[in-house]
Amino acid sequence: MPKRIRLDKAIVTANDRLAAELADTYDQAGVLVVNLMSSPGAGKTSLLEATARGLADRFRMACIDGDLATDRDAQRIQRAGMPCTQINTGGGCHLNGKQVRDALDAHRLDRLDILFIENVGNLVCPAVFDLGEHRRVVVSSTPEGDDKPIKYPVAFRMADGVVLNKMDMVDATDFSVEAFRGYVADIKPSLSIIEVSCKTGDGLVGWFQWVAEARDALSRKAAPGAE
Partner 1 sequence: MHEVSLAQAVWRQVKAELAGRPGYRLRAIDLVVGAFSGVDPESLEFAMGLLVGESDWPDAAVRLRPEPLALVCNDCGQEFTTETLDLTCPTCGSTDADPVRGTDLRLESLELETDDAETHPA
- Other C-beta atoms within 10 Å of 91: how many? 6
Dist. CA 216–CA 221, nearest whole Å: 9
| DSSP H or E run through 207 | helix 204-222
For residues 11 to 40, the per-residue mask of contacts with partner 1, x marking binding by CB under 8 A and - elsewhere, is xxxxx-------------------------
Within positions 84 to 123, which residues make up the interface with partner 1, using CB under 8 A? 93
The reply to whether 178 sits near partner 1 by the rule CB under 8 A is no
**Residue in 187, 191, 193, 212 binding partner 1, rule: CB under 8 A:** 187
3-state secondary structure of 88: strand
Instruction: Give the one residue of 110, 178, 190, 226 binding partner 1; rule: CB under 8 A.
Output: 190
DSSP 203: T
The C-alpha torsion from 82 through 46 and 86 to 32, rounded to 10°, is 60
Q: Give me the least distance between CB of 48 and partner 1, in Å please.
A: 25
> How far is residue 132's CA from residue 110's CA, in Å, rounded to a whole number?
16
Binding of partner 1 by 8 (CB under 8 A)? yes
Residues of the shown chain interacting with partner 1 in the complex, contacts defined by CB under 8 A = 1-15, 93, 124-125, 127-128, 150, 153-154, 157, 185-187, 189-190
